[in-house]
């Protein structure tokens, strides 16, 4: 194991390029390296450790957040630092719950396609009723309509026309809410709705959600791997003991002569 070395040494030990090591040092992701009298950087096992934690953390929450977290942990109090790390776990838990909710919504809605009774006037909803039922703004429903995600009917009124949402439109609006809450972008939601509209064929959408849940599990594992290092950064007393430095050639000679 590398105990002390140059930029090139730590690059080889960590799997990063020498320039990446310098960049991450400059960003505060790893501690500043010591300098030799000639001005060269000297790194240690702590830097290799922290670079490994950054790799896992970047997988778990993305490189931008990972860089910010590792930089901030070195400046925050123990209370604030532990709250920051806890929020990362909570974020992944929420992402998983949202993905599972979206999956359940797709399954439920696809099942309804086979069991719905013929719609009548009482089954339709106004834009106000639907926005209240879904917990979204009426302006959001209008935007989804512009994007082709929801297709209300138009009925004539004394003052012009008004939107009315039949059963099919309400169902699709529910799907949009679930997928958007799970972090899906508008084009991805449009693809999912395309599958649902094909006579309840939700296979592609469900496969995507299953893949998302599996990916979140891998991200949680990466965050857990980084956890011991994050704890050591927040509270150095919790760090495992460092391996002893290898004896120098001079000390080996002294030991032999004694």
| Alpha carbon distance, N-terminus to C-terminus of the chain | 28
Q: Is 0.75 topped by the overall pTM? A: no
Average pLDDT of 158-181?
A: 87
Distance, CA of 1 to CA of 14 (rounded, Å) = 11
Percentage, residues of the chain above pLDDT 90: 57
Helix locations, the chain, DSSP H: 7-14, 18-26, 45-61, 63-73, 78-115, 127-134, 138-146, 167-181, 186-197, 203-234, 249-257
Q: Give the pLDDT confidence of 194-246 residue by residue, as tens digits.
A: 766 765 556 677 788 888 899 999 999 999 999 999 999 998 765 555 555 55
Q: Quick one: CATH architecture of 97-214?
A: Orthogonal Bundle (1.10)
Tokens at residue 136, please?
A: 């979204």
Tokens of 21: 């090591």
DSSP-derived secondary structure letter, 151: -
Closest CA to 27 of 60, 59, 50, 61: 50
Q: Delimit the domains of the chain by residue range.
A: 4-88+215-242, 97-214
- Topology agreement, domain 4-88+215-242 and domain 97-214: yes
In this prediction, residues 163-176 reach a mean pLDDT of 90
What pLDDT sits at residue 258?
Answer: 37
| Six token digits for residue 237 | 């007393």
84-93, 98-107, 109-118, 152-161, range with greatest mean pLDDT: 84-93
CATH top-level class for 4-88+215-242?
mainly alpha
Q: What is the mean pLDDT of the chain?
A: 84
How are strands ordered across the β-sheet holding 41-44?
A: 4-5, 41-44, 34-35
pLDDT at 117: 47
The torsion angle over the Cα atoms of residues 21, 25, 30 and 32, rounded to 10 degrees, is 120
């Amino acid at each position: 194991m590398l105990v002390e070395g140059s930029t090139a040494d730590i690059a080889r030990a960590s799997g990063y390029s020498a320039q990446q090591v310098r960049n991450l040092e400059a960003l505060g992701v790893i501690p500043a390296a010591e300098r030799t009298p000639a001005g060269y950087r000297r790194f240690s096992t702590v830097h290799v450790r922290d670079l490994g934690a950054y790799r896992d953390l970047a997988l778990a929450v993305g490189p931008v957040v990972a860089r910010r977290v590792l930089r901030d942990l070195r400046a925050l109090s123990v209370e604030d630092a532990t709250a920051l790390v806890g929020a990362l776990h909570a974020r992944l838990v929420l992402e998983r719950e949202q993905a599972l909710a979206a999956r359940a919504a797709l399954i439920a809605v696809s099942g309804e396609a086979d069991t719905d009774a013929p719609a009548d006037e009482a089954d339709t909803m106004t834009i106000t009723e639907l926005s209240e039922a879904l917990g979204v703004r009426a302006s959001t429903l209008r935007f989804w309509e512009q994007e082709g995600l929801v297709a209300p009917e138009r009925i004539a009124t004394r003052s012009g026309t008004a939107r009315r949402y039949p059963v099919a439109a309400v169902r699709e609006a529910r799907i949009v809410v679930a997928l958007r809450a799970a972090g899906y972008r508008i084009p991805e939601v449009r693809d999912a709705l395309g599958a649902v509209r094909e006579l309840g064929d939700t296979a592609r959408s469900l496969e995507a959600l299953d893949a998302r849940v599996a990916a979140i599990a891998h991200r949680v594992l990466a965050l857990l791997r980084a956890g011991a290092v994050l704890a050591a950064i927040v509270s150095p007393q919790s760090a495992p003991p460092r391996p002893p430095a290898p004896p120098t050639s001079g000390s080996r000679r002294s030991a032999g002569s004694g």
